[in-house]
Chain A
């Protein structure tokens, strides 16, 4: 079950969507080549590839349904990476249980643990709210952890419609950012 959970963790709707784009895009490329050249084997290949269109459409439908999921609880083992420094800010994470480490990479390449976060803490909102800025840190688990991943659409809806929520976030600025500022 563990490898299966790992497989389904993270932004796999985006991976499925990329697969659907590859499948349908390749059929479209072959289709253009086929009708331009009217080559026998391209025609036969194009006919056989129609099944890829069906697969691509099914994948898209699955992705569209999954994209509606506002919040997902993900399970991590100790030492696993939740987000990587430099990746675009996509989701907001709230820790349900366990401990995570905020790790920064120095200019010389060495890594330093800047902070530790526990149940109730959150991270990822700053990068998301600043137009998907690259993540300024890596987050990895120090212990087994359960972490809610909140989709951008859900988070932005909450942020836009609940002034109290905005104020709460402003006051409770991401703890690791406070720590990072102290380190400067």
Chain B
């Protein structure tokens, strides 16, 4: 974490780029709160050895065992939930995810993932932006499925090539492209009246039927990733 923060603070040619997102602040607060909790516990053991439940020791415990931990709960959970949206989190399942990350980040990549990555439309959160559905329900489903994937990675019970658990619905594309100028000006995308075509809305015509596959993995035919 710290080398990463330091790297970002260095910027490019000394020019400050970015630091201070909600995630970065939360990581910092989580770290500080954890240290404060351990300091309080350590101090209580040193200063109030054998009298932990008496007098001023209870005030120290109030800080270390109640106030700081209660503050830690939201910061820690936010850190975990936000960090799990990051591309580096998804990419940390090396054996199974490496080909997909390599395809996405390849400078000359031709897949949808690569072109979206090059567009920098969701820096750092590319996997999540395309694979998680809209809204709280989409986030919840993505987290649950992610937990299952993590378990499979941990236990080595996944099969190669990996397949998506659920079909890739057009709504995942439409959550960004619906209403976009370049998308709406294409006749095949719209019905008379200038609204998105019903076939696309109802997944009768899939985006990937016409466009390049989401990922292009060497030795893997197009469509191999479709849900089992």
B47-55, B133-141, B192-200, B206-214 - the one binding chain A = B47-55
Most buried by A among B35, B58, B61, B69: B69
Residue contact B69 to A35, C-beta cutoff 8 Å: no
Q: Is A85 interfacial (CB-CB < 8 Å)?
A: no
Q: Is A57 interfacial (CB-CB < 8 Å)?
A: yes
Report, as a range, how many residues of chain B touch the other chain: 35 or more
Given that A36-B2, A56-B65, A60-B65 are known contacts, is A31 also in contact with B76, CB under 8 Å in the complex?
yes
Number of A-B residue pairs, CB cutoff 8 Å, is: 120
CA separation between A28 and B34, bound complex, in Å? 4
User: Chain B at the A interface: mostly helix, strand, loop or mixed?
Assistant: helix
- Which residues of B come within 8 Å of A, CB atoms? 1-2, 27, 30-31, 33-35, 37-38, 41, 44-45, 50-55, 58, 61-62, 64-66, 69-70, 72-73, 76-77, 79-81, 83-84, 88-89, 92-93, 147, 150, 154
Q: Is A88 interfacial (CB-CB < 8 Å)?
A: yes
13 A-B pairs in the complex with CB atoms less than 8 angstroms apart:
A24-B65, A25-B41, A28-B34, A31-B31, A32-B38, A35-B1, A35-B27, A44-B147, A47-B81, A54-B73, A63-B53, A153-B54, A153-B55
* Contact with B53, one of A14, A38, A44, A132 (Cβ below 8 angstroms): A14
Residue contact A40 to B1, C-beta cutoff 8 Å: no
Closest residue of chain B to A38, judged by CB? B1
Most buried by B among A27, A28, A34, A66: A28
What 10 A-B pairs are tightest by C-beta distance, nearest first? A31-B34, A28-B34, A60-B65, A88-B50, A28-B37, A47-B80, A40-B92, A67-B53, A53-B69, A35-B31
Name the distance in Å between A24's Cβ and chain B's nearest Cβ: 5
Residue contact B154 to A41, C-beta cutoff 8 Å: yes
* Contact with B1, one of A11, A36, A132, A151 (Cβ below 8 angstroms): A36
Given that A29-B38, A35-B27, A35-B30 are known contacts, is A40 also in contact with B65, CB under 8 Å in the complex?
no
Q: Which residues of B contact A24 (CB under 8 A)?
A: 37, 41, 64-65, 69
Name the distance in Å between B96's Cβ and chain A's nearest Cβ: 12
Q: Is A64 interfacial (CB-CB < 8 Å)?
A: yes
B-facing residues in A61-75 (Cβ within 8 Å): 61, 63-64, 66-67
